[in-house]
Amino acid sequence: MLQLAYIRENRETVLAGLAKRHFANADATIDQVLTLDQQRRDTQRDLDDTLAQSNAKAKEIGALMKAGQQAEANAAKAETAALKSRSKELEESLKSVEQQLQSVLVTIPNVPHSSVPEGRAAEDNEVVLEHGEKPTLYDGAQPHWELIKKYGPDGGPLIDFELGVKITGAGFPVYKGKAARIQRAMINFFLDEAMKAGYVEVQPPIVVNEESGFGTGQLPDKEGQMYFINEEKLYMIPTAEVPITNLYRDVIVPEGQLPIKNTGYTPCFRREAGSWGAHVRGLNRLHQFDKVELVRIEKPENSYAALEEMSLHVQSLLQKLELPYRVLRLCGGDMGFTSALTYDMEVWSAAQQRWLEVSSVSNFETYQANRLKLRTKDSSGKMQLLHTLNGSALALPRILASILENNQTAEGIRVPSVLVPYCGFDRID
């Protein structure tokens, strides 16, 4: 959530930023915020004054009673009724103004970084770089959803979608044999690489409460996209970003402990309501998938350097996996609600002849920290909101799809050599 003081002092910057996102009615919304903010402050001051008078009266009454001047005390008591009803009124209008203000504020997305390109949709994203050679496949090459039928244990598929439908539903595949093992290998490889890069591994809960959903911005923006356990009022996480970042909710981090670098593996759950169009076959889009996530908490002045570092880390993983990839700088219209700058990493899927998004690395600046009340005390003793960042490193299914497709030969599928020590085989056949 944007800081009120920031909106107040940088109205034009905020408006320009929202324009880049093609946020509708930005002018009216910001004006509404500013009006409500002024109302809130006026009411606050009236209320404080009234309460100050009440406090003075109460003190007076106390003194009178101590002095044994009962009659005077009773007279003074009579005067408090008006103050009391006045403060009650003001309290109610303050509460209502604050609620209105809050409800508008949560609908305003983050202000994009100056480097974010203009644009409405995915086609307008900027290709920052492309790396690696797209492989030329042999004649009998197939997309991964066909390939998986060929190499499973006991003549069955490597990844069984129908079995998933039976026990759960569409989008919940069952990985078997070498598919299960290569997934486990990737998780370990990714976590080890993160550890080498200085990230501390955490194993968070994979269901979270409403406060956590709000803290990182999934609520109220993406309410319908998360699975919800009604009995306990808990949400199943769409990404490890949610529990890991919320570890630092309401925390004042000592300056010396910064930056904080965490990594964690979790399954992720997404309802993907309304997004089952074309191109969602096989592993391309699932309701449950595995992901290793990076989360960083940085001083504001370091956050963009940290973002570049995370981008390079993700790229190094893709290089080690020998996958052709490209890096996109998302345009204003395609960026997530809470992000100020996002890089998407996409791998080439040779049989589908498409790029598949496997990582998204973002700097949220203070947008999440403001909701989380995640701060540090700077050297002058002042409280300061920190910057939060996160990135996938990496999401598994599409990496697997790309490995299957790009590395297929008539004799089977070659396993990238970095994974061989982790999974114990070098070929799926």
Partner RNA sequence: GGAGAGAUGCCUGAGUGGCCGAAAGGAACAGUUUGCUAAACUGUCGUACUGGCAACGGUACCGAGGGUUCGAAUCCCUCUCUCUCCGCCA
Selected from 25, 27, 45, 273, the binder of RNA by CB under 7 A is: 45
| 318 is an interface residue for RNA by CB under 7 A | no
- Report, in Å, the least distance between residue 290 CB and RNA: 22
| 52 is an interface residue for RNA by CB under 7 A | yes
Ranges of beta strands (E only) in 65-223 are: 126-131, 159-160, 174-175, 200-201, 207-208
| 383 is an interface residue for RNA by CB under 7 A | yes
- Report, in Å, the least distance between residue 372 CB and RNA: 13
- Report, in Å, the least distance between residue 65 CB and RNA: 5
| 35 is an interface residue for RNA by CB under 7 A | no
CA-angle at 196, arms to 307 and 418, nearest 5°: 100
Selected from 16, 34, 65, 104, the binder of RNA by CB under 7 A is: 65
| 211 is an interface residue for RNA by CB under 7 A | no
Which of 125/370 has CB closer to RNA?
A: 370
> Which residues have C-beta within 8 Å of that of residue 425, sequence separation ≥ 6?
178, 181, 415
**What is the spatial distance between Cα 32 and Cα 220, in angstroms, rounded to a whole number?**
19
- Report, in Å, the least distance between residue 260 CB and RNA: 18
| 365 marked as part of a ligand binding site | no
Selected from 16, 58, 106, 251, the binder of RNA by CB under 7 A is: 58
| 16 is an interface residue for RNA by CB under 7 A | no
Question: How is residue 267 annotated by DSSP?
Answer: E
Q: Are 219 and 233 in contact (CB under 8 A)?
A: no
DSSP three-state, residue 116? coil
| 41 is an interface residue for RNA by CB under 7 A | yes
Task: Tell me the Ramachandran region of residue 126: left when phi exceeds 0, alpha when psi lies from -120 to 50, beta otherwise.
Answer: beta
177-196 helix and 303-320 helix, angle to the nearest 10 degrees = 140
User: Which stretch, 58-66, 132-140, 176-184, 263-271, contacts RNA (CB under 7 A)?
Assistant: 58-66
Residue with tokens 């983050």: 110
| 375 is an interface residue for RNA by CB under 7 A | yes
Type of residue at 139: D
Selected from 11, 22, 77, 299, the binder of RNA by CB under 7 A is: 77
> Which residues have C-beta within 8 Å of that of residue 138, sequence separation ≥ 6?
408, 409, 410
Residue among 166, 188, 245, 178 at smallest CA distance from 212:
245
Question: How is residue 138 annotated by DSSP?
Answer: P
Q: By rule CB under 7 A, what count of residues binds RNA?
A: 25
| 120 is an interface residue for RNA by CB under 7 A | no
| 75 is an interface residue for RNA by CB under 7 A | no
Selected from 25, 27, 59, 203, the binder of RNA by CB under 7 A is: 59
Residue ranges that bind RNA, judged by CB under 7 A: 4, 41, 44-45, 47-49, 51-52, 54-59, 61-62, 65, 77, 80, 84, 375, 377, 381, 383
Binding residues for ATP: 270-272, 357-360
